Structure 1
Amino acid sequence: MMRTMGIDAGQKRVGVAVSDLMGWTAQGVETVQRTEDDRWLDRIAQLINEYEVSSIVVGLPRNMDGSIGERGEACQSLARDLEKRFSLPVRMWDERLSTMAVERTLIEADMSRKKRRKVVDQMAASWILQGYLDAQRRNTDE
């Protein structure tokens, strides 16, 4: 089996998570700093190779009414770019409130703001990927 990569794409940082080989759990891998050019995608390529990724899930930020705004359109564009560049299937997954939920969890764990900033993006990527994996499993269980 192969792994799925989850991506939480921000303007400055990209959180990356990968699934286990069975596709049951998501683990945060790292936060990649975005650059003006596409050099940051080289690190994504390295992670795809290192973890033998066979598909990618990109978080799709929707507005609370379900519509897609400017950030959502940027994530859709990124998903198309990833699909072209890596020749892998890329799916979008609704990520509404994922970063806020992760922030709340880290605050409740009494983690300092500085430490939170280092892990929030990869934890959000894990949250997105775990939601996707759980939905896939539910669909195959029915």
Structure 2
Amino acid sequence: MNRISALGLDVGKRRIGVAGCDGLGLIATGLETIERRSFAEDVARFQAIVQERQVQVLVVGLPYNKEGNIGFQAKHIQKYARRLGDALQLPLEFVDERLTSYEAEEMMKAQNLSPRYNKGLVDRKAAAIILQQWLDCRR
């Protein structure tokens, strides 16, 4: 089995949830939440993660609308992700992220954690769900 190092991203206006996977590509885990500042600062933080984890691909969640089309927010995320992929010189793959934040919040509630006060954790868990979906589809 080939080794894989992918980052899952849940891109929001204020934060980006980041998830990584084990080398076999079986399990996705939330890594951190990046507070967005400037694009240059975002890239610098991602460069460190990419180098440390020897990342090969970025997997970005896209919020499709109910009809399965790409809306306004998804277009913004695509634009940002393409800029990020170009800056990091990494390929991009997009995954339908509908309901991942809701799923992450429900997981937190089951663990007696408050999603309301842990937005960064919601973002990390959503990124892990996005990446896990991508990993599962690859198998």
Give the TM-score taking structure 2 as reference length: 0.92
Q: Is the 8 A contact 1:79 1:92 kept in 2?
A: no
Q: Is the 8 A contact 2:43 2:88 kept in 1?
A: no
Partner in structure 2 of residue 140 of structure 1: none
Tell me, yes or no, if structure 1 residue 74 matches structure 2 residue 76. yes
Partner in structure 1 of residue 52 of structure 2: 50
Deviations 1:47-68 (A, max 9, x none): 1111110111000111111111
Correspondence list, 1:98-113, <5 A: 98-112=100-114, 113=116
Tell me, yes or no, if structure 1 residue 97 matches structure 2 residue 99. yes
Correspondence list, 1:1-142, <5 A: 1-112=3-114, 113-114=116-117, 116-137=118-139
Give identity over the alignment, percent: 36
Structure 2 counterpart of 1:124, which letter? A
Paired residues, what number? Answer: 136
Q: After TM superposition, what 4+ stretches of structure 1 lie above 6 angstroms from structure 2?
A: none
Structure 1: tracts of 5 or more residues without a match: 138-142
The SS at the match of 1:74 is helix
Cα deviation, residue 108, structure 1: 2.6
Give the TM-score taking structure 1 as reference length: 0.91
Distance across 1 between alignment mates of 2:131 and 2:43: 19
The SS at the match of 2:77 is helix
Cα deviation, residue 83, structure 1: 2.1
> Root-mean-square deviation (CA), in Å?
1.2
